[in-house]
Amino acid sequence: MNSMRIILYGAPGAGKGTQAELLAKKFSIPHISTGDMLRSAIEQGTELGKKAKKFVESGGLVPDDVVIGIVKEVLASPKCANGFILDGFPRTTAQAEGLQKIFDELGIANIHVVSIDVNEEELVKRLLGRGRADDNEGTIRNRLKVYAESTAPVKGFYQKHGNVHDIKGVGTVEEVQKNIVDALK
């Protein structure tokens, strides 16, 4: 299966990062995580990192133009020529619209949107157990609120534009992975 282009959608803690890594290996495509890129920029103290720091640390969203800019640069690079998996982007309707523009410019069509669904109680449990710097209780609450308010409409955007594969995100990592791979066939 060549040229696999996937958008992984789901709440913080749904398992997008874990599943994205496995899919990236399976289909030999790059795993593009805006969260990973922002954390690494913050760690390295780059201009992007300085812009993003306060948003990431509070569990808010980094401004749309900033994230759209970094995604545009990566998607236009040769490493994404044969496919990619987007994890954690788009997170707002404006980002979804920005991404559509990038796809149009690059002549990209046939995107798979995979939505991983996990209930809120399980999400909080997972996030509290993960131990990342932005995984403290206050920040988690804010990230779930931001998800419900700003990110949930993104799913509607893709439901309107084509098919979304709905995947139940509970079970073992392998079970969820198999369900995703089956849905992509």
- CB nearer to ligand AMP: give 2 or 43: 43
- Distances in Å between the Cα of 109 and the Cα atoms of 4, 8, 73, 95, 136 are 11, 16, 18, 17, 39
Smallest gap from Cβ 151 to ligand AMP, in A, equals 9
Q: How far apart are CA 74 and CA 84, in angstroms?
A: 10
Q: CA torsion 43→149→113→156, rounded to 10°? A: -160
- Asked about 145 being catalytic, the answer comes back as no
In the complex, what is the shortest distance from the CB of residue 172 to ligand AMP, in angstroms, rounded to a whole number?
22
Helix (H) or strand (E) holding 166, with range, is strand 164-168
**Least separation in angstroms between CB 2 and ligand AMP:** 27
Query: Please, which residues bridge with residue 115 across strands?
Result: 9, 166
Q: Which is nearer to ligand AMP, 14 or 167 (CB)?
A: 14
Provide the phi-psi class of 13: left if phi over 0, else alpha when psi is between -120 and 50, else beta: left
33, 20 contact by CB (below 8 A): yes
Q: Write down the catalytic residue from 54, 79, 125, 132.
A: 132
91 annotated active-site? yes
Distance CA 5, CA 167 (A): 17
Catalytic residue check, 132: yes
In the set 130, 141, 168, 178, the catalytic residue is 130
Residues that bind ligand AMP (CB under 6 A): 12, 34-35, 38, 55-56, 59-62, 67, 88-89, 91, 95, 143
Residue closer to ligand AMP, measured from CB, 150 or 185: 150
Compute the least distance from the CB of residue 130 to ligand AMP, in Å. 10
Active site residue 79: no
Query: Does 16 participate in catalysis according to the annotation?
Result: yes
Nearer to ligand AMP, 145 or 178 (CB): 145
Least gap, CB of 154 to ligand AMP (angstroms) = 10
How many Cβ atoms sit within 10 Å of the Cβ of residue 81?
11
Pick 62 or 113: Cβ nearer ligand AMP:
62
Amino acid letter, 88: G
Active site residues: 16, 91, 130, 132, 143
